[in-house]
């Protein structure tokens, strides 16, 4: 072990490393004597292999959840697979994918047919899909974080049906102001800051404030030329497209990236882009090099001040940047994000699995995973069960049942050891990622398979780091720090939300969950190529490298506040999503999105006999309302007997 390892706290015993790689070891008293820091030791003892939210290390798409599906994708799987065992289980409905879309479909179907027998299958060891709950504990208290789907939040208004479901689940969206302590960080004098790293700027420097403030730019280590051009960019009065109407300008802006707009149209120093490069990550999963300038304008990025553009959305504008007052007022964040939405659905589907009765008490309720899949129960949720084949027994248009083959218990690092099993159903909702479906259903028409494969997912990482206290943040006066040139491109203290008996910590001496984000992208490539390359990066980066990056990054950015990466980090959960957001169409690359024409998602979601297709991918819209809307539609298509008699 090097001194650097020791400084960062990378030197914990091997048992810990195994644990942090997501492999649940039985840990008992043996670890207690190995000299772990107190907090870490307490944390490890609190972890529980039978309770996935407490597992740390690489989560999200965790080891064991995807390998077998990649074998299927590569055409290798059936060559060596054994013959599936028929379980004899017969259902009215099988749902593939236990994300919000699949759970919604199951819920809607059951409401319409209370006697229905339903099975929900998912390849992960937890339900919720992207809506993922992370838990940490210290001093007898549980701290909750969100590992994916962050909030009820959508750039476009929720449909009547989605709102009805949210209301039915007991979520008081309008009451968000009562649970959010919006003044907390402001009262403590905490703002945002930017970390300029030595690899890019020669030495490390944290600057508090915003690039729009002259004092921030004075303190930042930009060259004089960049400082001069930044001032021009932020107060741009020049129109690089004189003589064109607002609509004509927007049509041109839709076809160029923001980077090209700034460098080629405004002719500014490319160095001015650094503070803005990662700004669109949270929406697009790529930086300004791949974001259309029209969308950059709508996002409020600078440089358009002299162009006289109006607010009317132009052709090809992304849903994410078309403003809607109604949508922006419909917002709610639970401590575990929309995992609460998934948990509320599970509570209704499998009574007794999550104690309690309200959207408040569920925040602290512990799910009993052993109750999810009980023989004889009307609804069963089977985890660690990747589905490998879905096919009609007989002609797709006829009265046949559907056979579903899955691997039982594949969530171990040896996917080939998983037993293959089959069940049958009167109807199947595929609520899984669309890119998986062509391999599951080889019988689908070729055009539909091509359309499904178009739904390339956006790779993302949501990391939760549980820290001993946040006094370093208080000393430095920051609540969120942008780190554009580092592995995670930003981090922030958790939302100050208190719901029911769950209280947000207000004292900087107490532990807190720190949230870090990364969009895995490769500036310079096309958007879709960036998503592919990012996915590869996420799948091939071991936890130890990510952990080192995290410790380095926090240690350096917060050094002035006395943060100690060896002593202050109590736990790390990296929610890796190689298949993250649904792909939303982009005016730089998708002609049909600008000029009209059939969208691939409309072809992809066509029902096929007794198989219907849900997921947020079905709307090419990466939000929970899309997941709900398409879960409801897919269930309804089956209830209507779409494509065949039911
Ligand atoms: C990091 C992140 C943050 C987000 N933040 C927000 C937010 O703040 N607000 C918002 O509205 N949306 C957000 N989203 C978008 C999110 O995708 C949707 O809101 C919603 O949760 C998607 O639900 P879904 O059921 O359509 O898909 P998913 O949640 O992806 O569920 C699909 C499930 O199907 C499973 N599956 C795939 N293949 C198989 C197979 N062969 N067999 C069995 N199961 C399979 C998958 O593993 C997954 O569990 C976020 C997404 C990510 C990744």
DSSP 331-343: -B--TTTTHHHHH
- Report how far residue 3's alpha carbon sits from residue 9's, in angstroms, rounded to the nearest whole number: 10
- How far, in Å, from the CA of 458 to the mean position of ligand 1? 11
Is 471 a residue whose pLDDT tops 60?
Answer: yes
Sequence-ordered strand ranges (E) for 483-550: 490-493, 512-519
Whether 8 is in the pocket of ligand 1, judged by its Cβ within 6 Å, is no
99 lines ligand 1 (CB under 6 A): yes
**Are the beta carbons of 192 and 209 closer than 8 angstroms?**
yes
Separation between Cα atoms, residue 411 and residue 124, nearest integer Å: 7
Instruction: State phi, psi for 479 to the nearest 5 degrees.
Output: -115, -30
Residue minimizing CA distance to atom 10 of ligand 1: 623
- Residue 7 has a pLDDT of 87
Beta carbon of 431 within 6 Å of any ligand 1 atom: yes
Q: Look at the alpha carbons of 121, 123, 127, 130 in this order and tell me if their dihedral is positive or negative.
A: negative
CA 295 to chain centre: 22
Q: Which residues contact 29 (CB under 8 A, 6 or more apart)?
A: none
Cα gap 642→630, rounded to integer Å: 15
pLDDT interval class at 39 (50, 70, 90) = very low
- Helix H, strand E, coil C: the string for 251-297 is HHHCCCEHHHHHHHHCCCCHHHHCCCCCCCHHHHCCCHHHCEHHHHH
d(CA 612, CA 644): 12
Q: Which residue's alpha carbon is nearest to atom 49 within ligand 1?
A: 129
Residue whose CB lies within 8 A of the most ligand 1 atoms, among 68, 72, 99, for a mutation test: 99
SS3 per residue for 195-249: EECHHHHCCCEEEECCCCCHHHHHHCCCCHHHHHHHHHHHCCCCCCCCCCCHHHH
pLDDT confidence of residue 19: 41
Average pLDDT over residues 353-372: 98
Closest to 555 in 3D by CA, of 464, 475, 472: 472
* DSSP state letter for 608: B
Task: Band the pLDDT of 323: cuts 50, 70, 90.
Answer: confident
- The finding on whether 623 has its CB within 6 A of some atom of ligand 1 is yes
Q: Whose CA is nearest to atom 2 of ligand 1?
A: 148
Q: Return the structure tokens found at 100.
A: 């919000």
CA gap 552, 575 in Å, rounded? 19
Give this prediction's pTM.
Answer: 0.94
59 lines ligand 1 (CB under 6 A): no
Q: Quick check: 105 and 628 in contact, CB under 8 A?
A: no
Whole-number Å distance, alpha carbon 131 to ligand 1 midpoint, is: 6
What percent of the chain is predicted at pLDDT more than 70? 92
CB 216 within 8 A of CB 209: yes
Phi, psi of 334 (to 5 degrees): -90, 160
Reported as a pLDDT band with limits 50, 70 and 90, residue 47 is low
Closest ligand 1 atom to residue 580 Cα is 53
What's the gap in Å between 125 CA and the centre of ligand 1? 14
CA of 98 to the centre of ligand 1 (A): 9
How far is residue 269 from each of residues 222, 233, 296, measured CA to CA in Å?
A: 11, 10, 18
Question: Ligand 1, closest atom to CA 432?
Answer: 34
d(CA 256, ligand 1 centre) in Å: 30
pLDDT of residue 17: 41
Give Cβ neighbours of residue 461 (< 8 Å, ≥ 6 apart): 60, 488, 516, 517, 518, 519, 520, 538, 546, 574, 575, 576, 577
pLDDT at 519 over 80: yes
Ligand 1, atom 48: closest residue by C-alpha: 129
Q: Is 382 in the pocket of ligand 1 (CB under 6 A)?
A: no
- pLDDT above 70 (res 410): no
Mean pLDDT of the chain: 92
Neighbouring residues of 532: CB distance < 8 A, sequence distance ≥ 6:
456
Query: Ligand 1, closest atom to CA 127?
Result: 49
285 lines ligand 1 (CB under 6 A): no
CA distances from 258 to 196, 252, 460 (A): 22, 12, 21
Three-state SS string over 541-570 comes to CCHHHHHHHHHHHHHHHCHHHCCCCCCCEE
Q: Which atom of ligand 1 is nearest to the CA of 65?
A: 47
The answer to whether the CB of 578 is under 6 A from ligand 1 is no
Tokens of 413: 């690092």
* For the CA of 616, the nearest atom of ligand 1: 26
Is the Cβ atom of 94 under 6 angstroms away from ligand 1? no
Pick the closest to residue 623 from 108, 59, 156, 103 (CA basis).
156
Give 616-640 pLDDT, tens digit per residue.
Answer: 999 999 999 999 999 999 999 999 9
Ligand 1 within 6 A of CB of 149: yes
pLDDT tens digit sequence for 577-607: 999 999 999 999 999 999 999 999 999 999 9
Q: Atom 53, ligand 1: which residue's CA is nearest?
A: 580
The residue contributing the CA closest to ligand 1 atom 8 is 150
- Whether 125 is in the pocket of ligand 1, judged by its Cβ within 6 Å, is no
Say which DSSP state 312 is in: S
Which atom of ligand 1 approaches the CA of 436 most closely? 38
Mean per-residue pLDDT, 179-199:
97
CB 387 within 8 A of CB 405: yes
Strand intervals (E) in 313-386: 379-382
Strand pairing class (490-493; 478-482)? antiparallel
Measured over the CA atoms of residue 20, residue 21, residue 27 and residue 32, the dihedral's sign is negative
CA 413 to chain centre: 23
Here the tokens at position 473 are: 């943040």
Q: Is 380 helix (H, G, I), strand (E, B) or coil?
A: strand
Task: Check if 122 has its Cβ closer than 6 Å to any atom of ligand 1.
Answer: yes
Confidence at residue 1, expressed as pLDDT on a 0 to 100 scale: 73
Question: Would strands 419-430 and 458-467 be described as parallel, antiparallel, or unpaired?
Answer: unpaired
What angle (nearest 5°) sits at the alpha carbon of residue 635, between those of residues 634 and 636? 90
Q: For residue 121, which atom of ligand 1 is closest to its CA?
A: 43
Q: Which atom of ligand 1 is nearest to the CA of 387?
A: 42
Ligand 1 atom nearest to CA at 622: 15
CB of 171 sitting under 6 A from ligand 1: no
Distance 57 CA to ligand 1 centre (A): 20
Return the minimum-mean-pLDDT range out of 396-400, 426-430, 538-542, 637-641. 396-400
Residue-level pLDDT at 417: 62
533 Cβ contact partners less than 8 Å away, ≥ 6 residues apart:
520, 521, 522, 525
């Amino acid at each position: 072990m090097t001194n650097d390892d020791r400084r960062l706290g990378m030197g914990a015993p091997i048992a810990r490393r195994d644990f942090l790689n997501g492999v649940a070891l039985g840990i008992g008293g043996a670890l207690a004597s190995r000299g772990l820091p107190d907090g870490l030791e307490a944390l490890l003892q609190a972890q529980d292999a039978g309770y996935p939210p407490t597992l740390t290390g690489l989560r999200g798409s965790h080891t064991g959840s995807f390998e077998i599906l990649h074998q299927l994708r590569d055409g290798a799987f059936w060559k060596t697979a054994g013959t599936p065992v028929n379980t004899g289980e017969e259902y009215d409905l099988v749902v593939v994918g236990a994300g919000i879309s699949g759970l919604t479909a199951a819920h809607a179907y059951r409401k319409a047919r209370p006697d229905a027998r339903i099975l929900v299958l998912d390849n992960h060891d937890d339900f919720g899909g992207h809506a993922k709950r992370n838990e940490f504990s210290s001093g007898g208290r549980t701290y909750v974080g969100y590992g994916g789907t962050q909030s009820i939040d959508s750039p476009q208004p929720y449909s009547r049906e989605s709102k009805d479901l949210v209301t039915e689940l007991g979520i008081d969206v309008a009451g968000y102001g009562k649970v959010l302590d919006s003044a907390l960080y402001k009262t403590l004098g905490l703002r945002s800051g930017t970390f300029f790293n030595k690899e890019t700027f020669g030495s490390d420097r944290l600057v508090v404030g915003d690039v729009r403030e002259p004092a921030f730019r004075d303190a930042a280590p930009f060259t004089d030329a960049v400082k001069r051009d930044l001032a021009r960019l932020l107060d741009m009065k020049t129109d690089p497209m004189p003589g064109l109407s607002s609509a004509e300008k927007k049509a041109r802006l839709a076809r160029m990236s923001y980077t090209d707009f700034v460098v080629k149209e405004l002719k500014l120093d490319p160095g001015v882009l650094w503070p803005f490069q990662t700004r669109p990550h949270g929406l697009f999963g790529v930086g300004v090099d791949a974001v259309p300038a029209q969308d950059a304008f709508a996002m409020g990025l600078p440089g358009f001040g002299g162009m006289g553009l109006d607010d009317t959305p132009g052709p090809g504008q992304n849903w994410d940047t078309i403003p809607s007052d109604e949508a922006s007022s419909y917002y709610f964040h639970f401590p575990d994000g929309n995992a609460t939405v998934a948990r509320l659905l599970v509570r209704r589907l499998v009574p007794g699995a999550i104690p309690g009765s309200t959207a408040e008490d569920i925040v602290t309720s512990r799910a009993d995973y052993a109750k999810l899949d009980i023989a004889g129960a009307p609804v069963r949720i089977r985890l660690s069960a990747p589905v490998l084949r879905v096919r009609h027994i007989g002609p797709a248009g006829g009265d046949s049942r559907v056979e579903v083959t899955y691997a039982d218990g594949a969530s171990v690092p040896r996917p080939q050891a998983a037993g293959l099993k089959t069940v049958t159903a009167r109807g199947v909702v595929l609520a899984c990622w669309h890119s998986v479906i062509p391999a599951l259903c080889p019988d689908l028409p070729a055009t539909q398979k091509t359309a499904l494969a178009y739904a390339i997912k956006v790779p993302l990482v949501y990391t939760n780091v549980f820290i001993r206290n946040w006094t370093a943040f208080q000393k430095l006066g920051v609540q969120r720090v942008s780190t554009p040139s580092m592995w995670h491109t930003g981090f922030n203290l958790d939302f100050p939300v208190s719901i029911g008996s769950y209280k947000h910590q207000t004292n900087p001496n107490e532990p807190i969950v720190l949230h870090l984000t990364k969009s895995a992208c490769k500036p310079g490539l096309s958007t879709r190529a960036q998503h592919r390359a990012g996915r590869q990066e996420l799948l091939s980066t071991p936890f130890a490298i990510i952990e080192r990056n995290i410790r380095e990054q926090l240690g350096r950015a917060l050094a002035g506040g006395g943060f100690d990466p060896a002593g202050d980090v109590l736990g790390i959960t990296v929610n890796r999503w190689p298949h993250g957001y649904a792909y939303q169409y982009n005016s730089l690359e998708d002609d049909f999105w600008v000029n009209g024409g059939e969208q691939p998602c409309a072809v992809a979601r066509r029902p096929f006999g007794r198989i219907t297709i849900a997921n947020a991918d079905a709307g090419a819209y990466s939000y929970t309302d899309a997941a709900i809307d398409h879960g409801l539609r897919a269930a309804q298509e089956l209830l209507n007997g779409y494509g065949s008699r039911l």
